[in-house]
Amino acid sequence: MIALKRTPQKRREPPGTFTLLVAWAAGICASGNACDLCAIYAAQQAEGAAGRGFVAGVAEQFTHFGTLQMDGQKVDDPTSQYLDSSISQVFAGYYFNERFGVQFNLPVIYRSFQRPEGFGIDRGTESGIGDVSLLGNARLFRTDSGDWTITWNALGGVKFPTGSTDRITEEFEEVEVPGAPASGIHGHDLTLGSGSFDGLVGTSAFVRWRRAFLSAQVQYALRSTGDYDYRFANDLTWLGGPGLYLALAHQYTLALQAVVSGEDKGTDTFQGESAEDTGVTAVYLGPQVDFTWGGKLSAEVAVDLPVSIDNTALQAVPDYRVRAALAWHF
């Protein structure tokens, strides 16, 4: 999955006005009683496109799948199946001006697993480059004042079929052995790529009132048919929730957010037939901590715990997710 990050950013002005605004913010900081606004401006500069320039960083999502479910209900797992999935996204972007920018994402994937294979146990790993993506983002709306900030952004792009799809060939070979435990981990779970060109669209919003804020992000993946006549289903992902700036200083900020996230995905299609063990609707809840330093560095770490997972057929489903990101604005 590609992540839509909250990017509260500095109000855009012509060059001369921008210079005056920076000087004005510095003056507010010196006054002592209104340094919250100055710190928020610095955080906005670190977390997003503060004008023309480069942004680079890395984002990580680790997910542990250790629960077996049949049609949304937990079932016995005598073979202790699991799938540990690590997706590290290396990204680099450039902002042409205060409104428009582009970003390139390169995922590096590592997965380890244990699953039944007939009456035996199959253990293994899968690693390599995933499907890269090229994204464009645009600022649709921005308003700013001492107490309020409101931002609305849009995103769109293309995912390219650069990841290996060798694991999808397992779909040809799946045979149920009578009396043997069934596997909830399949080739479509282990594949590094989809073999398809896919479209990505999304939007994000951020609202701040003094030290309190609310963010929301939505992304929709439009899938096409890829290798081996396999088509992953269109996928809706979303994330957001309320937060509070715990520390606002001239050099750094620290924020805590309660994040509700989720995914809604239908069943995939394999050679014209529905792949019944691929649909899922999940909701997660957990804390997220955001940190910025010096108007350049932005970092975040979050834990997502499932509160509801409704899946189709037999699948290994997540027990928890850990997300982290680090970005530097040049």
Angle at 3 between CA 5 and CA 206, to 5 degrees: 25
On whether the CB atoms of residues 35 and 43 are closer than 8 A, the answer is no
Reported as a pLDDT band with limits 50, 70 and 90, residue 273 is very high
At residue 296 the predicted structure's pLDDT band, cuts being 50, 70 and 90, is: confident
Query: How long is the chain?
Result: 330
Mean of the per-residue pLDDT values for the chain?
85
- Domains, the chain: 15-329 (2.40.128.130)
What's the whole-number mean pLDDT along residues 194-199? 96
Can you name the residues that pair with 53 across neighbouring β-strands?
95
299: helix, coil or strand? Answer: strand
Q: pTM to 2 decimals?
A: 0.85
pLDDT at 248: 84
- Over residues 297-324, the mean pLDDT reads 95
CA end-to-end distance (rounded Å), the chain: 26
- Band (pLDDT 50/70/90 cuts) for residue 51 is low
Where are any strands of DSSP class E within 160-251? 198-209, 212-222, 230-231, 235-248
